[in-house]
Structure 1
Amino acid sequence: MPASSPTFRFIDLFAGVGGFHAALASYGGKCVYAVEVDKAAASVYERNWGHPALGDITKDADKDEGLMKVPAHDVLAAGFPCQPFSKSGAQHGMDETRGTLFWNIASIIEAHHPKVVLLENVRNLAGPRHIHEWDVIIETLQDEGYRVSETPAIFSPHLLPPERGGRPQVRERVFITATHNPEGIGEGLPVHPVALPGDSIDGWGPQEWHLEDLLDDSHNIAGCDLTPAEQSWINAWDEWVQHWYEATEGRRPPGFPIWADAWTEHNRVVKHFGFVPGYRDLMEDDPTLPKWKAGHLAKNYDLYARHRGWIDVWARKWNIYTDFPPSRRKLEWQAQDTPRLWDTVMHFRPSGIRAKRPTYLPALVAITQTSIIGPRRRRLSPRETARLQGLPDWFDFGDQRPAASYKQMGNGVNVGAVWHVMREHVMRDEDVLKHTAAGRRIIAAVTGAPPSPDEILGSMK
């Protein structure tokens, strides 16, 4: 720890299993309040951080009801629910009940005015569909006397080098960082975001990541194994990739989605048009067909026309059209020149088998799309997903089902990203923070800490 006694007090709202706690405790902060409505996540939180978290923020902080059970604190951290803003949800924003949970955060801020506010959400919060919600959040903080950037701070842990707490996971998140500034110090000057999309740190190139540094077969569990059917799907498409390289003299597979089902329509479509149609032909023939779909179909018709000889042999060998479910009759190749499908990182998605280069991983999600590590012929283990989120190897999920651990990691915040954003925020607002005792304690804790939380976290238990 940076200090033997707490340097600042923080609260952890919508705490999950404690990603914010890990980062802020590493800076020497002391958690004085944590709340998480999910019982399984709250149990893991208390198991690892020794602080109870189970509860409902609406029962502890509700301005309309005159409730304020949250104690005074210096730093407020909140990864408030992302479903109202996520692309995977309905995107109703603050019109949806869960979206109003921000007002419970605002009630706490109004009551206690913590020196630093650190909020995290999915990138889509700062997207065009949620301009109103974004403006409301920023204006609410400004009305309470906070210095806050109107430009979103967007950051991903794969942009941090490993020695700064980075991890090989593309996990772009929006961070809203604010400092209580009732005196208006620096008022009128531009407030810059603490991170911008694509900013790599210390010249780090994300292509330098090596997944082998993350993987550890000793933590495998039965749920990581691939079923015989899954192995068959990968074997079949791996063979397709080999045929493609041979037929095209080494040209990488197409970047558009490869749809085997389109090939079964080829003869009918060609007979209808009298030629292999392009996307304009398809759209003129069927005005209701979306342009994107017409484009993918046209490219697949052309691909099949050029390679139908070996494709037909391959399809018969593997019984593609009868034995494979529809979503496994599709391949999304995003692995560039990777020589084999088994050499990639894969995801089984409704849109097909997506393959990426084995450098860094897509974001963990709270649904069943856990990355498949082709060279290891298995999925990531829960321990490896915890490593991806920057949690130490002593972090303990207890005896809960692996599905629950995967869900918690998919919902969690990355420790290194929080650590970095907090540091950048303190450096940006040092001129404001230095005028109060709480602010000076935060400055000392953050600027006096090493460049990464890993060393500190490793020694905490």
Structure 2
Amino acid sequence: MKFLDLFAGIGGFRLGMERAGHECVGFCEIDSFARKSYKAIHDTEGEFEFHDITRVTDESIRGIGRVDVICGGFPCQAFSIAGKRAGFEDTRGTLFFEIARFASILRPRYLFLENVTGLLSHNGGDTFETIIGALDELGYDAEWQVFNSKNFGVPQNRERVFIIGHLRGAGGRAIFPFGGDGTAVDSEQSKINKVGNIRKMGKSQSGDVVSVDSLAPTLCSTTTQKDPLKVLIAGQLPGKFEMPNRVYDPNGIAQTIRTMQGGGLEPKIIQRGHGYNQGGEHEIAPTLTSNSYQENNHIKVYDFYNRTERDMIGTLTASGHQSNTRTGTFGVSDGFHIRKLTPRECWRLQGFPDWAFDRAQAVNSNSQLYKQAGNSVTINVIEAIAKKLK
């Protein structure tokens, strides 16, 4: 089927749709850096190309011709008058209105939309109700389901809601529900690995601490920004903010990739030792040298006297002054060191093949590549849904 890629980003929707056998006829993306990556990755010659969706005229939309599917991970803006139940009229002034406008002109068989799960509860549910009401007014019957990327072959805990709009009278079967890897939805409760509770009595669910390689318990009404779900992490770097300084074990599930990356905000993981020290921790530290830390030692030294961290122990002295270390006041942590996830790894967490990243890397900076990964959809999830569109 032919599809139009709105709010296209770097083309996560497109790759998933194309893998499922569908054909792209055009795209729309306002961010110039994202467009550079998109056009480097995809062959867009001869396709319709739009930038600011709010400036695309109705006449230009009609010029696209027939499309079977409109795709779009639209931004979730606040609906200023949501709740008045005015349907299509309530969406004016929001970017969802632009999808509705394209649909009202092109009349595709399907609308394939994606958003954060917060859309379901935004403004007490009025926003989502308004969206569904607008689709109904346009002649589309809607179904939706929340999917987590970790169930589709990528180690990232990323929940998103997907909406399929069916043009009334155009045929087509229901797409949802289904599980990851095409399996049936299992109603049996998965096991939750709770490792402790921070409350005095140890009974409040809001105090539960769960392992990072476990499923989180159901979020309840007491879960707030100030009192969020607690997870067991591998460590914590020093710094003002908690989340960007968390360190995750590489065997676990990655945190959700966000838009705000770069400047030290990238996810950090433990990197195990290799080279001379491959194999783990030691009771006695290997010889510390000035030139082999990165390749061999993988040891961090903490000088308790001077309260500094360094790659090697300073000259041992009796008094400990300046850059020296008093005997008995140092500690070492060997077997690993901490590093950031690379832009390539963040793209892999969204299901992008390395050849796609290589093309984007040739035209964009690392800060843009981090941002683009966080803004994208997970290709594997898109592909799984797209295979059911017939």
Question: TM-score normalised to the size of structure 2?
Answer: 0.61
SS in 1 for 2:154: coil
Question: Can you list the C-alpha shifts for 1:200-222, whole angstroms capped at 9, x where unaligned?
Answer: 947999x9xxxxxxxxxxxxxxx
Shift of 1:144: 2.6
Residue 19 of structure 1 pairs with residue 12 of structure 2: yes
1:30 to 19, 23, 28: 23
> Are the aligned partners of 1:39 and 1:54 in contact in 2 as well (CA < 8 Å)?
no
**In 2, Cα distance between equivalents of 1:354 and 1:185:** 46
- After superposition, residues 64-213 of structure 1 pair within 5 angstroms as 68-82=62-76, 84=77, 100-129=94-123, 131-149=125-143, 152-160=144-152, 166-182=153-169, 193-194=176-177, 201=183
2:370 to 406, 429, 433: 406
**Larger helix fraction of residues:** 1
Distance change (3 Å), C-alpha of 1:130 and 1:174 = farther
**In 2, Cα distance between equivalents of 1:17 and 1:39:** 11
> Are the aligned partners of 2:3 and 2:68 in contact in 1 as well (CA < 8 Å)?
yes
Question: Can you list the C-alpha shifts for 1:233-276, whole angstroms capped at 9, x where unaligned?
Answer: xxxxxxxxxxxxxxxxxxx996659xxxxxxxxxxxxxxxxxxx
Residue 370 of structure 1 pairs with residue 266 of structure 2: yes
- How many residues are aligned here? 279
Equivalent position amino acid for 1:27 in 2? A
Shift of 1:350: 2.5
1:45 to 31, 38, 42: 38
**In 2, Cα distance between equivalents of 1:170 and 1:363:** 5
Shift of 1:155: 0.4
**In 1, Cα distance between equivalents of 2:63 and 2:239:** 44
Identity %: 29
> Are the aligned partners of 1:11 and 1:32 in contact in 2 as well (CA < 8 Å)?
yes
1:350 to 238, 241, 252: 241
Distance change (3 Å), C-alpha of 1:59 and 1:121 = same
Shift of 1:119: 0.4
Shift of 1:422: 2.5
**In 2, Cα distance between equivalents of 1:372 and 1:76:** 36
Aligned to 1:335: 232
> Are the aligned partners of 2:120 and 2:128 in contact in 1 as well (CA < 8 Å)?
yes
Q: Unmatched 5+ residue regions in structure 1?
A: 1-7, 86-90, 161-165, 208-251, 258-277, 280-291, 297-331, 427-442, 444-461
2:386 to 422, 430, 444: 422
After superposition, the CA RMSD in angstroms is 4.0
Q: Unmatched 5+ residue regions in structure 2?
A: 84-89, 208-228, 273-337
Moved segments of 4+, more than 3 Å: 65-71, 91-99, 183-186, 191-196, 198-205, 252-257, 346-349, 351-358
> Are the aligned partners of 2:247 and 2:270 in contact in 1 as well (CA < 8 Å)?
no
Shift of 1:101: 1.4
Shift of 1:27: 1.9
> Are the aligned partners of 2:116 and 2:160 in contact in 1 as well (CA < 8 Å)?
yes
SS in 2 for 1:10: strand
Distance change (3 Å), C-alpha of 1:43 and 1:185 = closer
**In 1, Cα distance between equivalents of 2:181 and 2:110:** 23
Question: TM-score normalised to the size of structure 1?
Answer: 0.52
Equivalent position amino acid for 1:147 in 2? D
Distance change (3 Å), C-alpha of 1:256 and 1:37 = farther
Question: Can you list the C-alpha shifts for 1:36-73, whole angstroms capped at 9, x where unaligned?
Answer: 000000111011102174511112255xx996454421
**In 1, Cα distance between equivalents of 2:181 and 2:354:** 28
SS in 1 for 2:387: helix
Aligned to 1:386: 347
- After superposition, residues 199-238 of structure 1 pair within 5 angstroms as 201=183
Shift of 1:21: 0.6
Shift of 1:112: 1.5
Shift of 1:194: 3.2
SS in 1 for 2:27: strand
> Are the aligned partners of 1:61 and 1:69 in contact in 2 as well (CA < 8 Å)?
no
**In 2, Cα distance between equivalents of 1:178 and 1:13:** 15
